[in-house]
Amino acid sequence: MPEHKTGGRLPTWLLFLAPVLIWATTWHVILYQLDSPVPALTSVGWRFAISALMLAGLARWRGLPLRLPREAHAYMLGTGVVQYAGNYWSIYEAERYVPSGLVAVLFCLLVFMNAAVAWLLWRQPVGRRFLAASAGAVLGVALIFWPEIAATGARPHAALGLGLSLFAVVVACVGGFFTLVLTRRGLPLIPVLAWSMGYGAAFLLLLSLATGQGLRFDSGWPYVGSLVYLAVFGSVIAFTLYFKLAERQGPAQAALVGVMVPVIALLISALLEGWQATPLALGGMGLCLASLAVATRPSR
């Protein structure tokens, strides 16, 4: 039995909720990476290198083949370069020029991009109710971050940050579909992710060397602890469950994970970083949750 079918043992709600909670916590954990002297480019490379090794070990433990067809490596190389390297590096760089809230709102657009590509590739239908509810959820996220978004125009190089953010969204969509193309052909998910993240890590670390940033590392426990958390939970566990959800429910439904992440992340920020909710933000959270309930309600 192909490995990608074993995700049926896990309930759909868990495949959705676990990545939401994990990726929401990574917003805070990444701060420990940014506070270190290690360049972001190198840190992301270390993160996916660890993730790739862990996924390869998991594949061997479960008896899944790491030797995949030669033509699959073109997809996995593309996934590594665009999704795990280009996407994450672009996000880090974009947040130098625009607020993280704007990046979060733009990533919510992945719902519509995934729906469009799934229809073009596989003729997966998308109902009007789902699209309308998704639009409401995106509006809710925009309301949450509205003060940051409104101040974006005053920032120098805001256009560059906006361009990098949109680029990150596009390559995340492309990389996700590369992975789903391979799993729909019967290839096991965990080895596919291992190779893809390995290619992404190699690209990032080689780029770090080529740009003179070197392969720096911080042995302090905040950096090491956050790096391990991001690799194990933020990459290995979250991406595995996310793609199982995409296989089962479709990529558009899975992309709703990205709509919920900012809401939970801000609640965590309120507990750990002193973030104070405004009435507009609370209204946006309510709209987001209500829209999400409508979008995920089964059709009659």
Q: What is the 8-class DSSP label of residue 82?
A: I
Question: pTM for the complete prediction?
Answer: 0.86
**Looking at residue 5, what is its pLDDT?**
41
Which range is most confident: 8-22, 189-203, 263-277?
189-203
Say what the pLDDT of residue 137 is: 85
**Is the pLDDT score of 64 beyond 90?**
yes
What is the spatial distance between Cα 134 and Cα 254, in angstroms, rounded to a whole number? 12
* pLDDT higher than threshold 90 for residue 123: no
Q: What is the 3-state secondary structure (H, E, C) of 23-65?
A: HHHHHHHHHHHHCCCCCHHHHHHHHHHHHHHHHHHHHHHCCCC
3-class SS of residue 219? coil
Confidence tier at 295 by pLDDT (50, 70, 90): confident
Confidence of residue 4 (pLDDT cuts 50, 70, 90): very low
- For the residues of 106-120, what is the DSSP string, one character each? HHHTHHHHHHHHHHH
Residue given tokens 């229809």 in the structure block: 119
pLDDT at 8 over 70: no
Give backbone dihedrals phi and psi of 61, rounded to 5 degrees, phi first.
-65, -35
**Could you tell me if 74 and 246 are in contact, meaning their C-beta atoms sit under 8 angstroms apart?**
no
Rounded to a whole number, what is the largest CA-CA distance in the chain? 58
Q: What is the mean pLDDT of residues 234-255?
A: 93
Spatial separation of the C-alpha atoms in residues 214 and 139, rounded to whole Å: 41
Written as one letter, the residue type at 204 is L
Look at residue 7 and tell me whether its pLDDT is greater than 50.
no
pLDDT of amino acid 153: 63
Give the residue-averaged pLDDT of 236-257: 92
User: To the nearest whole number, what is the mean pLDDT of the chain?
Assistant: 87
Cα–Cα distance measured from residue 227 to residue 235, given in angstroms and rounded to the nearest whole number: 11
Choice between 144 and 235, residue whose per-residue pLDDT is larger: 235
pLDDT per position as a tens digit, 10-63: 899 999 999 999 998 887 888 788 788 998 889 999 999 999 999 999 999 999
Q: Which of 7-11, 70-74, 96-100, 110-114 has the highest mean pLDDT?
A: 70-74
The DSSP output letter for 80 is I
pLDDT confidence of residue 22? 93
pLDDT tens-digit profile of 138-155?
Answer: 888 888 878 777 776 666
